A = this chain, B = another copy of it.
C-alpha cells in the first residue's frame, strides 16, 4: 500500500555537487547543489540547477562556465557550509581553508582538496521556476591520483563520495558494491 505525499522533490540519491564560479571581480566562489546530474553522453554534459537569488547564478550568467568538485566524505562539513553561506557575504575558500585552483580549460575555479573535478562550459539555460537549470558540457574530468585504481581508472571506494537525501536533509556515505550493471539483470533474458 502506497501513501501519497504530494508534489515534492524526493528522490534518492541526489549528488553533492560543489559548483565553482568566478564573480565579476574575479573572486572564486563555490556553492553546493543537490539538484543536478549527468544529462548527455555525447557531448558529455551535466545539469545543475540554482536559484536566481544565489551569487552563483549571476556568475554563471556572466562567465558561462563552471566547475563541479565532488567532496569526499571527510569534507562533508565544508560542502555543507558551501550550501549555507553566500559568496556575496563571505569568501568561502578563506572560511574553510580550502584552495581555489584556476581551471586551464574554462573560466572557473575548482577545489584543490576535493578528489574529483569536472570543468564545464554552459550550453543551455532554462528558467523552470524557483530554479534556473544550466546544462554544461564537460570538457575534462580530473581525479586525484589517490582516487585512481591500479589501472588508472577512478575508484568509487577511493574517492569516497557523499550523497544527499532530500526530505531528511542528511548526507550519507556510499554503501557496498551490489552488482555489475548490464550483467546482473541478464537472468531475466529468455534463452533460446
Pairwise interchain contact A142-B2, C-beta atoms closer than 8 A: yes
Q: Is A138 an interface residue (CB 8 A)?
A: yes
Identify the stretch in A19-27, A53-61, A128-136 within 8 Å (CB) of chain B at 4 or more residues. A128-136
User: Mask for A111-146, Cβ within 8 A of B = 1, else 0?
Assistant: 000001110000110101111010101111111110
Pairwise interchain contact B182-A39, C-beta atoms closer than 8 A: no
Copies of this chain present: 2
Pairwise interchain contact B35-A141, C-beta atoms closer than 8 A: no
Q: Is A15 an interface residue (CB 8 A)?
A: yes
* A154 touching B5 in the complex, CB below 8 Å, given contacts A13-B15, A128-B124: yes
Pairwise interchain contact A126-B126, C-beta atoms closer than 8 A: yes
How distant is A96 from chain B, measured CB to nearest CB, in Å? 5
Residues of B within 8 A of A11 (CB): 15, 17, 37-38, 46, 68, 70, 116, 118
* A154 touching B167 in the complex, CB below 8 Å, given contacts A3-B148, A77-B185: yes
Pairwise interchain contact B9-A44, C-beta atoms closer than 8 A: yes
